[in-house]
Amino acid sequence: MIDSNPITVDDLRAAGLTVPFVGFEDEIARFREQDRLRPPPGAILFVGDSDIRFWNFDDAFAADFAGLPALNRGFGGARTWESLLYFHDLVPPSRPRSIVYCCGDNDIAKLKADGVFNAFHGFRLFLDRVKAHAPSVRKVFYLAIHPSPADEPLWGFIEQANELLRPFCDSSGLAEFVDFKPLLLDPQGRPRSDYFRPDRLHFTREFYRRLGTFLRPKLESA
């Protein structure tokens, strides 16, 4: 059990996570400055990697969640370890009532089987931090790790991670596993290429709109 102080790299390694490096300090510093200048209200907090960050492009995030106090704190190509190391910068300042968490695919892309462990055990540690340091949170929505055309060699690892995360969320009392993969797939069960940008990895505006429509009732009920 990690204590109540901010987590360090040594803490995470002692807990079994692989932490080869840490990035995105500049983006986190910008969040700190934004919060200093304009403290965020109690919110629906979106936190995680570029799947969250790219939702900001062309004001899509604001449009898809108009009327809801939604706050986007996606950064870079975040890995699970960074969501933990920067937890105190990302979560408590917004006093969220619910969190939409999207992280783990970059762990798998970097570390493969070790990334599966990172994604699963790292989210367990994230939930521990929520319970200890964000008592206003009533629900954490875990967005399932999704396949994309570009990462087909990793699909098996992605399924392994999701198979661990789904029952953990179901039994946690706080988290809900949100499997949005069926929205992405064609009739043959493969990711639809038209839902991805030319890099074959990140979502198009059309898919963000569809995902927002899918998520919105969950967020409103939470």
E-state strands within 80-151: 98-102, 139-143
- Quick check: is 89 in a domain? yes
3-state secondary structure of 176: strand
Burial pattern 98-129, b for ≥16 Cβ within 10 A else e, equals bbbbbbbbbbbbebeebbbbbbbbbbebbbeb
Residue 142 belongs to what domain range? 9-221
- Quick check: is 33 in a domain? yes
Number of independent structural domains in the chain: 1
Contact 106, 64 (CB under 8 A): no
Half-sphere exposure of 177 (CA within 13 A, CB side): 20
Quote the CA–CA distance of 101 and 52 in Å, as a whole number. Answer: 9
Quote the CA–CA distance of 42 and 12 in Å, as a whole number. Answer: 29
- Quick check: is 1 in a domain? no
> Tell me, what's the pLDDT at 88?
95
- Quick check: is 63 in a domain? yes
Three-state SS across 46-98? Answer: EEECHHHHHHHHHHHHHHHCCCCCEEEEECCCCCHHHHHHCHHHHCHHHCCCE
Angle 184-99-6 (CA atoms, 0-180°, nearest 5)? Answer: 125
Query: Could you tell me the pLDDT band of residue 5, with boundaries at 50, 70 and 90?
Result: confident
Tens of pLDDT, residue by residue over 46-65, are: 999 999 999 999 899 999 99
Mean pLDDT for all residues in the chain: 95
Contact 55, 36 (CB under 8 A): no
3-state secondary structure of 135: coil
Tens of pLDDT, residue by residue over 187-197, are: 999 999 999 99
Query: Could you tell me the pLDDT band of residue 222, with boundaries at 50, 70 and 90?
Result: confident
Tens of pLDDT, residue by residue over 132-172, are: 999 999 999 999 999 999 999 999 999 999 999 999 999 99
Give the CATH number for residue 76. 3.40.50.1110
- Quick check: is 95 in a domain? yes
Q: Which residues contact 112 (CB under 8 A, 6 or more apart)?
A: 154, 157
Q: Which residues contact 20 (CB under 8 A, 6 or more apart)?
A: 110, 111
In this structure, what token pair is assigned to residue 195? 């839902």
Q: What is the pTM of this model?
A: 0.95
- Quick check: is 53 in a domain? yes
Query: Could you tell me the pLDDT band of residue 78, with boundaries at 50, 70 and 90?
Result: very high
Could you give the percent of the chain with pLDDT greater than 70?
98
